[in-house]
Amino acid sequence: MELWYTEKHTNTVNFSIQVKRHFYSESSPFQQIDFFESKEFGTFFTLDGLMMVNEKDEFVYHDMITHVPMATHPDIKRVLVIGGGDGGTVRELTRYKHIEKIDMVEIDEMVVRACQKYLPITANQLTDPRVTLYFEDGLKFIQGKVAEYDLILVDSTDPIGPGEGLFSMAFYTDCFKALTETGILINQHESPYYPNYAREMKRSHDKIKKIFPISKVYQFHMPTYPSGHWLFGFASKSLDPIKDFKKEKWEAFGLETKYYNTDLHTGCFALPTFVKKLLEE
Amino acid sequence: MELWYTEKHTNTVNFSIQVKRHFYSESSPFQQIDFFESKEFGTFFTLDGLMMVNEKDEFVYHDMITHVPMATHPDIKRVLVIGGGDGGTVRELTRYKHIEKIDMVEIDEMVVRACQKYLPITANQLTDPRVTLYFEDGLKFIQGKVAEYDLILVDSTDPIGPGEGLFSMAFYTDCFKALTETGILINQHESPYYPNYAREMKRSHDKIKKIFPISKVYQFHMPTYPSGHWLFGFASKSLDPIKDFKKEKWEAFGLETKYYNTDLHTGCFALPTFVKKLLEE
């Protein structure tokens, strides 16, 4: 018998992974959660049938969401992670000894508990004493907060289902208020290639650039996401990821990384012309 | 009825495209050639069941194989293209008015004739008066040539089947001899992500760096190739793609490009750490 997991990247494009077993399948109050074991990607899980995290390429996403802002502003001490139930973003943050406080707000506790059980490669630092887990709606959590965080990482699903509000004008405005004067917001920024994703990329960027004086986009290779061409948004009140890049200071941390490095820090902001045009439209 | 084209990216990973019709299927003396029409990618063709070119993302590959060397050495006048039967690489080269001679050596005339008929988007400049088509083995064509070309573009299939010899030490050595003193060799360099492709990437790089004093690798996002993370090799007798980059001179050509731009020129050489390590091993 062969068992295949298939994800529709578009209505007429499928990506399929042969799985050894489908060992977890639960409906939380928010979404459908499934865990699989595969030869090529190791353990992976999906939310509402979309690939979230797998053991083979999670390092790409988690390196890029974390180290780009940390190398722009190496003095970050208070961090808010919204979403990120797999724990991989928190894992990378905990590698910085000088970070004092990491609040993680994940709406779906079942995702976190399942990842702690089945995906320790990403979830293994959620018990770090600097980490506080809040199982609530990030939209509500952030309301009314003023200058509490140096960095907000929005590690969300696509803007359909529980992640939808995390792509709204109201949410980005609340993030702006919750950040300190040198604060940085990184958000999951979808992809430029397939039209459905490109539309969300543009919508997100259009909103953020109205609120933040500095708003850039950077890219990386994420083979298991649709098209493999994926983006994060970098927004800040005052810091530019290239002009304010603290290369030597970041290198002095001595962190070993598998994807991120200081050449790539600059390189990843160099976008193809068609992406720049889509973002400027 | 639904008709799906499926390509195995690994033994346990499939990429599938729903097609409107499969309208050409012929065996040449060298390989199996198939043409399809699809909603997402327009017309595409496969060789021995592997995606070669489609109307949606061909611009990525053809921009990156052509404009990176042309912006490093804008005075290139004599170019050899090996492979490239779809004509897209030649199309980009013909946009440079000062190029005097473009020899294209493609082993399989049937691929060229089919692309001229069904894929004019890439094949439409093969009749440019500066272009000479040779339907023969690139390996033999290049033997004995001395300082005849300023640029050699190896636009080949994977190193299995008719493209195999184009990844050999003997061939790279012949390329070195066939190039002028400032000559550049660009070659299809596979991908770092799935092990089968990463092995060929390393083998190719190991050979080229033994022959050429300058040997670099650059990356791009090619959604329809396995993992979407694809590479070209840049090798040269004397020019470095970053130090010798002629940004202003290239911009003065006034070429509109959809993927390549002068920021990306530098950015694409910034490789993820895991890729750098694989190449250095």
Helices and strands (H and E) in chain B: how many: 10, 12
Same domain, A82 and A112: yes
Q: Which residues of B are documented as binding site for spermidine?
A: 62, 86, 155-158
Please state the ipTM of this predicted complex. Answer: 0.97
Same domain, A146 and A33: no
Name the band, by pLDDT with cuts 50, 70 and 90, for residue A12. Answer: very high
Mean of pLDDT over chain B: 97
If you compute the radius of gyration of chain A from its CA atoms, what whole number of angstroms results?
18
- Tell me: the pLDDT tens digits for B158-182? 887 777 888 899 999 999 999 999 9
Domain coverage including residue A272:
58-280
Residue B260's SS3 state is coil
Same domain, A108 and A20: no
Chain A CA closest to residue B38: A12
Total residue length of chain A? 281
Return d(Cα B64, Cα A229) in angstroms, integer: 16
Mean pLDDT of B187-192: 96
**Given the residues A63, A103, A108, A155, the one annotated as active site:** A155
pLDDT score recorded for residue B206? 96
> In the predicted model, is pLDDT for residue A222 greater than 90?
yes
Q: Is residue A55 a contact partner of residue A87, using CB atoms and an 8 Å limit?
A: no
pLDDT score recorded for residue A158? 84
Same domain, A68 and A165: yes
> In the predicted model, is pLDDT for residue A125 greater than 80?
yes
Residue B235's SS3 state is strand
Kindly report the nearest CA distance between residue B203 and chain A, in angstroms: 21
pLDDT score recorded for residue A161? 76
Q: Does B135 touch chain A (CB under 8 A)?
A: no
Q: Which of B53, B69, B92 is the last residue of a domain?
A: B53
Distances (CA, A) of A257 to A131, B194, B202, B276: 22, 19, 21, 12
Return d(Cα B157, Cα A261) in angstroms, integer: 31
Same domain, B208 and B268: yes
Same domain, A175 and A117: yes
| Cα A267 off chain centre by | 19
Helices and strands (H and E) in chain A: how many: 10, 12
Residue A230, domain CATH: 3.40.50.150
Distances (CA, A) of A127 to A55, A131, A196, B1, B76: 20, 7, 37, 52, 59
Best residue in B8, B11, B13, B62 for a mutation probing chain A (most A CBs within 10 Å): B13
Mean pLDDT of A57-77: 98
Q: Does B39 touch chain A (CB under 8 A)?
A: yes
Domain count, chain A: 2
A108 is catalytic: no
pLDDT score recorded for residue A10? 97
- Tell me: the pLDDT tens digits for B220-249? 999 999 999 999 999 999 999 999 999 999
Same domain, A130 and A42: no
pLDDT score recorded for residue B166? 87
pLDDT score recorded for residue B159? 84
Kindly report the nearest CA distance between residue A229 and chain B, in angstroms: 6
pLDDT score recorded for residue A272? 98
Helix H or strand E segment including A279: helix A273-280
> Do the strands B78-83 and B3-10 form a parallel or antiparallel pair, or are they unpaired?
unpaired
Same domain, A31 and A129: no
Residue A217's SS3 state is strand
Residue A63's SS3 state is helix
> In the predicted model, is pLDDT for residue A24 greater than 90?
yes
Return d(Cα B227, Cα B225) in angstroms, integer: 6
Measured distance between the N- and C-terminal CA atoms of chain A, rounded to whole angstroms: 49
Between chains, do B227 and A219 touch, taking CB under 8 Å as contact?
no
What percent of chain A has a predicted confidence (pLDDT) above 90?
Answer: 96
Mean of pLDDT over chain A: 97
For every residue of A109-155, DSSP letters joined together read HHHHHHHHHH-HHHHTTTT-TTEEEE-S-HHHHHTT--S-EEEEEEE
Mean pLDDT of B103-122: 98
Residue B26, domain CATH: 2.30.140.10
Mean pLDDT of A147-170: 90
Name the band, by pLDDT with cuts 50, 70 and 90, for residue A157. Answer: confident
Q: Which of B34, B53, B72 is the last residue of a domain?
A: B53
Between chains, do B276 and A269 touch, taking CB under 8 Å as contact?
no
Q: Which residues of A are documented as binding site?
A: 31, 62, 86, 106, 137-138, 155-158, 162
A162-171, A183-192, A214-223: least confident range: A162-171
Beta-bridge partner residues of B186: B153, B234
Q: Which residues of A are documented as binding site for S-methyl-5'-thioadenosine?
A: 31, 106, 137-138, 162
**Given the residues B155, B240, B244, B263, the one annotated as active site:** B155
Between chains, do A14 and B10 touch, taking CB under 8 Å as contact?
no
Same domain, A14 and A100: no
CB neighbours of B113 closer than 8 A, spacing ≥ 6? none
Same domain, A77 and A147: yes
Same domain, B91 and B17: no
Measured distance between the N- and C-terminal CA atoms of chain B, rounded to whole angstroms: 49
Return d(Cα A159, Cα A163) in angstroms, integer: 5
Which tokens go with B45? 């063709």
Measured from the Cβ of residue A231, the count of other Cβ atoms closer than 10 Å reads: 25
> In the predicted model, is pLDDT for residue B44 greater than 80?
yes
Q: Is residue A116 a contact partner of residue A90, using CB atoms and an 8 Å limit?
A: no
Same domain, B184 and B48: no
Total residue length of chain B? 281
Chain A CB contacts of B11 under 8 Å are 18, 39
Chain A CA closest to residue B226: A223
Mean pLDDT of A54-65: 98
Q: What burial letters (b/e) apply to B24-41, b meaning 16+ CB within 10 Å?
A: eeeebebbebbbbbbebb
Q: Does A276 touch chain B (CB under 8 A)?
A: yes
Distances (CA, A) of B85 to B60, B93, B126, B229: 17, 14, 10, 22
Phi, psi at B71, each rounded to 5°: -85, -15
Residues 142-201 of B with CB under 8 A from A: 193-194
